[in-house]
Amino acid sequence: MGRNEEYERLFGLNDEVIGQQVAGADAMAFFRLFFAEYKVPESRLRTLQLSSTVAKNKGETQYKNIVTIFQMIHSRSAQPFHLNVTEVNDLVKLLFAGVYPADKFQYRKIDNKKKTLISQEGSSLREQLETLIELTGEGKKHGNYEPLFLHLNFMVDFLNMEIYRYLPGDVIAVLVYYLLSMQDGMISFNYLSFFNKLLLNKDEFKAALEKTRFGWSEGYSEIMPLERFYLRIYHELYIDLQEYARDYDYEKNLEISKSDYIENTIDKLPEVFQKEDIRTRHPFISDSTINRTLSRMQSENKIRPLGKGRSAKWVKLCKKETGKFKGKQLTFDLEE
């Protein structure tokens, strides 16, 4: 994190392009992580990221909401998230708009006295949420706790309090913590997909979340496995960001032809590839340059298309030498 300003200067001119690319990756991974019950093909998910595409069912509506949220988060004009009840409610309504009816956006009622970490009573959990937010704000104001750790404790309390009667609290809690972490200086989220990394480690992540539930109501929640998990993911993201920054800086100062650079990338791709594979590796090279390179390589009989349209694939005709040693029996002519 000590190199945050360096990264911001390096990516400054293209942060909007990078942000929208990360938004798409985050939205898809977030949907796969928390809404796996909706079986939407990946090709359809990519199409739904276009503003002109209309959702056809509940699962697609949920995904469109997620796309909207992450596009807002990664927009250059994004407003900071303020931890208060109103902004949490606005986020919840945006996340589940058109998925749940209005009467489902209710706080869970408290009928009897119940001892909790906050030790408060009230007619609904909205009051306890306000108290939790107030205590978190006081902790941050006095600087007695590292912000990332303080906000992780907030996330654990939020998801275990089961604030909403019908809505999945863990989804909301993780998303709020993500927003707070960005504001705590985790700028790697601006350039790389955090939820892609989370999806790759989803079993460990879900197990760590479950551990926080045991003993929570008595004030003995096991939070450290989740804390260690998050710190490892943060560290991996910054290592990845170092490599991404190195490649970005190299590409920005590239002296050889960009078309030759793209061809070099294609050589390293699998035998069958898509144009999207090239875009992912070179988000700042224009589509026209990529198309020209593909057309040139086709005319040179190096590749050929498989199908047409956005999802068309290409196959390489010139296979690379593997460089593997092939054993051969030696023969000797031994004269007497």
Ordered DSSP codes for 155-177 = HHHHHHHT-BSSS-HHHHHHHHH
Residues 316, 271: contact at Cβ < 8 Å?
A: yes
Residue 132, helix vs strand vs coil: helix
Q: What per-residue confidence (pLDDT) applies to 323?
A: 47
Cα-to-chain-centroid distance, residue 41:
18
How far is Cα 130 from Cα 202, in angstroms, rounded to an integer? 30
Pairing of strands 303-306, 313-316: antiparallel
pTM metric for this prediction:
0.78
Kindly give, in sequence order, each residue whose CB lies less than 8 Å from that of residue 24, ignoring residues fewer than 6 positions away.
Answer: 46, 49, 67, 70
Q: What per-residue confidence (pLDDT) applies to 327?
A: 47
Q: What per-residue confidence (pLDDT) applies to 88?
A: 95
Residues 221, 171: contact at Cβ < 8 Å?
A: no
How far is Cα 315 from Cα 60, in angstroms, rounded to an integer? 32
- For 323, left (φ over 0), alpha (ψ -120 to 50), or beta? left
How far is Cα 193 from Cα 184, in angstroms, rounded to an integer? 17
How far is Cα 104 from Cα 180, in angstroms, rounded to an integer? 26
Q: What would the two tokens of residue 318 be?
A: 């010139």
**Residue 133, amino acid:** I
How far is Cα 250 from Cα 246, in angstroms, rounded to an integer? 6
- Beginning with the edge strand found earlier in the chain, give each strand of the sheet holding 303-306 in spatial order: 272-274, 313-316, 303-306
Q: What per-residue confidence (pLDDT) applies to 114?
A: 47
Residues 130, 163: contact at Cβ < 8 Å?
A: no
Kindly give, in sequence order, each residue whose CB lies less than 8 Å from that of residue 6, ignoring residues fewer than 6 positions away.
Answer: none
Q: What per-residue confidence (pLDDT) applies to 78?
A: 84
Pairing of strands 272-274, 313-316: antiparallel
CA end-to-end distance (rounded Å), the chain = 75
Q: What per-residue confidence (pLDDT) applies to 104?
A: 85
Q: What per-residue confidence (pLDDT) applies to 212?
A: 93
Burial per residue of 263-298, b for 16 or more beta-carbon CB atoms within 10 angstroms, e otherwise: bebbeeeeeebbbebbeebbeebeeebbeebbeebe
Question: What residue ranges define each of the domains in the chain, with the CATH number in brackets?
Answer: 254-316 (1.10.10.10)
Provide the residue-wise pLDDT of the chain in tens; the chain has 336 residues.
899 999 999 998 888 889 999 999 999 999 999 999 999 998 899 999 999 999 999 999 999 999 999 999 999 888 889 999 999 999 999 999 999 998 888 888 775 544 444 554 556 789 999 999 999 999 999 988 999 999 999 999 999 998 998 888 899 999 999 999 999 999 999 999 999 999 999 999 999 999 999 889 888 889 999 999 999 999 999 999 999 898 888 777 765 677 888 898 899 899 999 888 888 778 777 788 888 999 999 999 999 998 877 668 899 987 655 444 444 454 545 554
Long-range contacts, 224-232 (Cβ 8 Å, 24+): 226/152, 226/156, 227/149, 227/152, 229/201, 229/204, 229/205, 230/148, 230/152
Measured in degrees and rounded to the nearest 5, phi and psi for residue 100 equal: -115, 145
Q: What per-residue confidence (pLDDT) applies to 330?
A: 47
How far is Cα 36 from Cα 190, in angstroms, rounded to an integer? 25
Of 7, 9, 45, the residue nearest 24 (C-alpha): 45
Q: What per-residue confidence (pLDDT) applies to 115?
A: 47
Q: What would the two tokens of residue 172 be?
A: 């909301």
